[in-house]
C-alpha cells in the first residue's frame, strides 16, 4: 500500500496531468492554458489599423496565445509562481524567441497573460502585431506582483523584475516543446518604458550565463529608466510642471513608495505629507482604474495647493534624501542598486527612444549610450535610434518603437548613431 501511494505521489509531482482545462507540470513550468487564437486576417486588420501602410508585412499564419504559470523567486529569494504569455505562430517560429518586457501598469487586467487577442491598443497587442509576421515566438512576463501573483509590484526595480524575464524562458521553451513546435535558436530581448529598464537588466544577467538557453542574439531596448538614481530621480524631482507632468510624477513616486511601504514597512508619512500619504494608502489597495488613481492623486495635490509640483507634496526629509542621493534611505538605496546603464554588452544592442518624451526622460538613453561608448562599446555592437515624430507621446510611440525593434531583429543595424 505504501509503495502504491509513493508511486501516485511521484506521478503527480513529475508527470503531466489534466486539471480544470489546464496542463500542470513539475519543475519550472507550472501550468498552461490557451487564451485564444488570432487568425491571420484578424492580425492583418489590426496591423493596418495600428501601423497604416508603414507596418510590417502581412501575417500568413495564425497565432496561438498561451497563458503560462512558472516558478521564479521574489526579493527575498523565496519561491513564487508568476504568470506570463507565450505567443506561438502556427507551425512554429523559425526565427526564434522574442522576450518582451512591458511598461508600467497598475491594473492587473492589463497584464500580458490576460490578453486574449482583442483590439485594445495596449502594449501586449502592439508587441504581438510588430512580431506576428516575422516568424518569432513572443514571450511576455507579467512581473512579480502582476498577473495572477497577488502582492505589490516592485516598481521600479529593474534588477528584481528582470528575474521574471529570465525565469520565463525555460518554461516557454518547455511549453513549445510539449506542443511539438519548432523555435529557432535566436533569443532576442526587448522592452518599453519600465520594461526597457527591465530588459536592460535582463540582457546584462543573461550575458553572464553559460546556459545555452540564455544566449542572447540581440536586444532592442526602448525608452527605459536605465539611470534610476540620476536621470530618473532628477525627472521625478523636477519643479513646477503642467498638470499632466504633475500627474505622472505623483504616479511614479507613489507607486514606488507604496511598494516599499507594503513590502519593506516604510511609513508613507516619511515620504509624503499627511494628505497625500492618506490618498496613496487608500487609493492603491482600492482596486480603482489607473485613470481614477491619477484623478485621486491630482485632486489631492490640488487641494494641497501643490501648484503642479511634486516637491510640494513630499516631505522635506524625502526631498533632501533624493536631492543628496542619501543611500541611507531605503528607496534611494534601491534606485542606486537598480541602475543598469554602466556595463559592457557583448551582443548587438539597439537603444530606442522618443525625442521629447515627457514620461521617461531621454537623458536615460543618452546616459546609457554615452557610458557604454566610454567603456569601449563600438558601433558594430551598440547603436541608438531616436524616434523624431513629435506627434507621438510616450504612450502612442509604443508601436513605432516595436517596429524599430522588429526591423533590427530581422536585419541588424540600419541607422542610428
- pLDDT computed for residue 415 by the predictor: 52
State how far the alpha carbon of 390 is from the alpha carbons of 125, 386, 387, 394, 397, in Å.
23, 11, 8, 10, 10
pLDDT in tens, 338-381: 999 999 999 999 999 999 999 999 999 999 999 999 999 999 99
* Mean pLDDT value of segment 223-250: 94
- pLDDT computed for residue 206 by the predictor: 98
CA 188 to chain centre: 14
Task: Tell me the three state secondary structure of residue 300.
Answer: helix
pLDDT in tens, 396-405: 999 999 999 9
- pLDDT computed for residue 9 by the predictor: 37
Asked if residue 181 has pLDDT above 60, the reply is yes
State how far the alpha carbon of 98 is from the alpha carbons of 22, 381, 393, in Å.
24, 19, 25
User: What DSSP character marks residue 217?
Assistant: -
pLDDT in tens, 256-309: 999 999 999 999 999 999 999 999 999 999 889 999 999 999 999 999 999 999
How are strands ordered across the β-sheet holding 97-101? Answer: 17-19, 22-24, 29-38, 63-73, 79-89, 137-141, 97-101, 187-192, 218-222, 348-354, 382-387
- E strand spans, 182-267: 187-192, 218-222
* Mean pLDDT value of segment 112-135: 94
The C-alpha cell that represents 240 in the structure block: 513646477
> What CATH homologous superfamily does 27-226+340-411 map to?
Alpha/Beta hydrolase fold, catalytic domain (3.40.50.1820)
The C-alpha cell that represents 8 in the structure block: 501516485
The pLDDT mean for the chain works out to 92
Domain boundaries, the chain: 27-226+340-411, 229-337
* Mean pLDDT value of segment 333-337: 97
Asked if residue 199 has pLDDT above 80, the reply is yes
pLDDT in tens, 3-48: 444 333 333 333 333 333 444 433 499 999 999 999 999 999 999 9
Least confident of 144-148, 241-245, 300-304: 241-245
| 325 within 8 A of 229, measured Cβ to Cβ | yes
| 253 within 8 A of 241, measured Cβ to Cβ | no
- pLDDT computed for residue 114 by the predictor: 97
Asked if residue 316 has pLDDT above 60, the reply is yes
State how far the alpha carbon of 280 is from the alpha carbons of 253, 259, 270, 283, in Å.
10, 11, 13, 5
Give the helix ranges, DSSP H, for 59-214: 123-131, 158-178, 194-206
Which residue's entry shows cell 504581438?
128
pLDDT in tens, 127-142: 999 999 999 999 999 9
Within 13 Å, how many C-alpha atoms sit on residue 402's CB side? 35
pLDDT in tens, 42-83: 999 999 999 988 889 999 999 999 999 999 999 999 999 999
How far apart (Å, rounded) are the C-alpha atoms in residues 141 and 27?
18
- pLDDT computed for residue 417 by the predictor: 52
The C-alpha cell that represents 354 in the structure block: 522618443
- pLDDT computed for residue 269 by the predictor: 98
User: Does the reported pTM lie above 0.85?
Assistant: yes
Nearest in space to 66 (alpha carbons), one of 22, 18, 121: 22
Amino acid at each position: 500500500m505504501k509503495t502504491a501511494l509513493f508511486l501516485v505521489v511521484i506521478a503527480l509531482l513529475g508527470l503531466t496531468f489534466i486539471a480544470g482545462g489546464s496542463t500542470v507540470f513539475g519543475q519550472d513550468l507550472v501550468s498552461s492554458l490557451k487564451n485564444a487564437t488570432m487568425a491571420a486576417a484578424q492580425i492583418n486588420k489590426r496591423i493596418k489599423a495600428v501601423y497604416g501602410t508603414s507596418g510590417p508585412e502581412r501575417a500568413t499564419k495564425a497565432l496561438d496565445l498561451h497563458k503560462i504559470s512558472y516558478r521564479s523567486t521574489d526579493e527575498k529569494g523565496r519561491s513564487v509562481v508568476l504568470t506570463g504569455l507565450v505567443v506561438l505562430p502556427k507551425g512554429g517560429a523559425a526565427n526564434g524567441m522574442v522576450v518582451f518586457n512591458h511598461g508600467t501598469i497598475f491594473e492587473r487586467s492589463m497584464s500580458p497573460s490576460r490578453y486574449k487577442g482583442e483590439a485594445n491598443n495596449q502594449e501586449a497587442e502592439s508587441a504581438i502585431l510588430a512580431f506576428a509576421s516575422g516568424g518569432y515566438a513572443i514571450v511576455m512576463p507579467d512581473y512579480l506582483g502582476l498577473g495572477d501573483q497577488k502582492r505589490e509590484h516592485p516598481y521600479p526595480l529593474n534588477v528584481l523584475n528582470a528575474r521574471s524575464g529570465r525565469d520565463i524562458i525555460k518554461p516557454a521553451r518547455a511549453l513549445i516543446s510539449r506542443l511539438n513546435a519548432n523555435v529557432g535558436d535566436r533569443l532576442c530581448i526587448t522592452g518599453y518604458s519600465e520594461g526597457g529598464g527591465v530588459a536592460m537588466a535582463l540582457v546584462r544577467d543573461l550575458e553572464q550565463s553559460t546556459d545555452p538557453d540564455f544566449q542572447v542574439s540581440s536586444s532592442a531596448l526602448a525608452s527605459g529608466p536605465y539611470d534610476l538614481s540620476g536621470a530618473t530621480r532628477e525627472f521625478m524631482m523636477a519643479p513646477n510642471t503642467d498638470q499632466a507632468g504633475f500627474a505622472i510624477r505623483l504616479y511614479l513616486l507613489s507607486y514606488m513608495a507604496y511598494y516599499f511601504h507594503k513590502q519593506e514597512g516604510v511609513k508613507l508619512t516619511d515620504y509624503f505629507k499627511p494628505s497625500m500619504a492618506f490618498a496613496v494608502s487608500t487609493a492603491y489597495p482600492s482596486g480603482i482604474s489607473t485613470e481614477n488613481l491619477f484623478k485621486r492623486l491630482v485632486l489631492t495635490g490640488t487641494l494641497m495647493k501643490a501648484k503642479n509640483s511634486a516637491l510640494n507634496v513630499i516631505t522635506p526629509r524625502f526631498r533632501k534624501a533624493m536631492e543628496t542621493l542619501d543611500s541611507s534611505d531605503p528607496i534611494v538605496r534601491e534606485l542606486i542598486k537598480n541602475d543598469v546603464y554602466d556595463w559592457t554588452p557583448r551582443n548587438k544592442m539597439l537603444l530606442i527612444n522618443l525625442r521629447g518624451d515627457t514620461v521617461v526622460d531621454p537623458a536615460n538613453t543618452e546616459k546609457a549610450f554615452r557610458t557604454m561608448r566610454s567603456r569601449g562599446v563600438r558601433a558594430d555592437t551598440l547603436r541608438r535610434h531616436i524616434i523624431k515624430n513629435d506627434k507621438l507621446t510616450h504612450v502612442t510611440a509604443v508601436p513605432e518603437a516595436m517596429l524599430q525593434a522588429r526591423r533590427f531583429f530581422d536585419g541588424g543595424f540600419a541607422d542610428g548613431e
